[in-house]
Amino acid sequence: MSNLGNLAEIVDEAARNATAVPQLTIDAPDLTPDDGYAIQAMAMARRLSRGERRVGMKMGLTSRAKMIQVNVEEVIWGRLTDGMRVEEGGFASMADYVHPRVEPEIAFLMGAPLSGNVSAVEAMNAVEAVAPAMEIIDSRYKDFKFTWADVVADNCSSSGFVIGNWCAPDTDIANAGMVMEIDGQARQIGSSAAILGHPVRSLVAAARMVAQWGESLEPGYIVMAGGATAAEPLAAGMSVRNNVQGLGAVSFQVEA
């Protein structure tokens, strides 16, 4: 097994067993973001070999504030599987995560393939539906600290996602108000415009970035546009709800 393959095994096992590990770059300081994407692909192949099915992708660091926070100048992307999906209105178990956090998002459902350099109009023409969503992020690194290469290798911290009811693709999502509540109290208030100025720009970036790795956004894929606000830490017993103007709400509960 190559060195990158060994690193893929480390992050995959950390995710599978919900165990924190040191940053990969501590022992491999020359690791690049491209190395990180190669590690991510190999770790995902391990998940698929265990029976999980690829269902889409997520975008990360889609707000300027988050880029500055982790000193990264580019949006990042990770892969989604059916094993990561949390049923709308259902339960997420703390036992499945190391130190999970939740972000309010918007999701796209692809109706046609999309890849490469595309315009916003071309991107939206490939969308079948949009929905309110939330992503559970969970870095497998100790203390939730990482470099650009580390976070990419760790599937960009993607661990779970929950999707609300799908709505018409022409629903206005340019500047939709978003309120994420925990136990009935508003904890994060924002707008979909915080996602690269407009969520469709995240979809445009997604098409470009997957093409660089020989992939396409396939019909039926879910694309998570990225967090519209800061993430909130999760704890057992919480009830979480994201209300999105024009799209409705999506919710889940947290159990031990």
Query: Which residues contact residue 49 at a Cβ distance below 8 angstroms, ignoring those fewer than 6 apart?
Result: none
Q: Would you list the DSSP string of the chain?
A: --HHHHHHHHHHHHHHHT--B--HHHH-TT--HHHHHHHHHHHHHHHHHTT--EEEEEEE--SHHHHHHHT--S-EEEEEEGGGB--TTSEEEGGG-SS-EEEEEEEEEESS-B-SS--HHHHHHTEEEEEEEEEEE---BGGG---HHHHHHTGGGEEEEEE---B-TTS--TT-EEEEEETTEEEEEEEGGGTTTSHHHHHHHHHHHHHTTT--B-TT-EEE---SS--EE--TT-EEEEEETTTEEEEEEEE-
Mean pLDDT of 164-190: 97
Asked whether the predicted pLDDT for residue 1 surpasses 60, the reply is no
Asked if residue 2 has pLDDT above 70, the reply is: no
Lowest mean pLDDT across 32-46, 54-68, 78-92, 188-202: 54-68
The percent of residues in the chain predicted with pLDDT above 90, rounded, is 91
Checking if the pLDDT of 65 tops 70, the result is: no
Sheet holding 177-182, edge to edge: 91-93, 248-255, 239-244, 177-182, 185-191
pLDDT digits (tens, 9 = 90+) for 139-151: 999 988 898 899 9
Mean pLDDT of the region 18-36: 95
Please report the domains of the chain, with CATH numbers, ordered by start residue. Answer: 3-255 (3.90.850.10)
The token pair at 16 is 């599978």
The answer to whether 141 and 10 have CB atoms below 8 angstroms apart is no
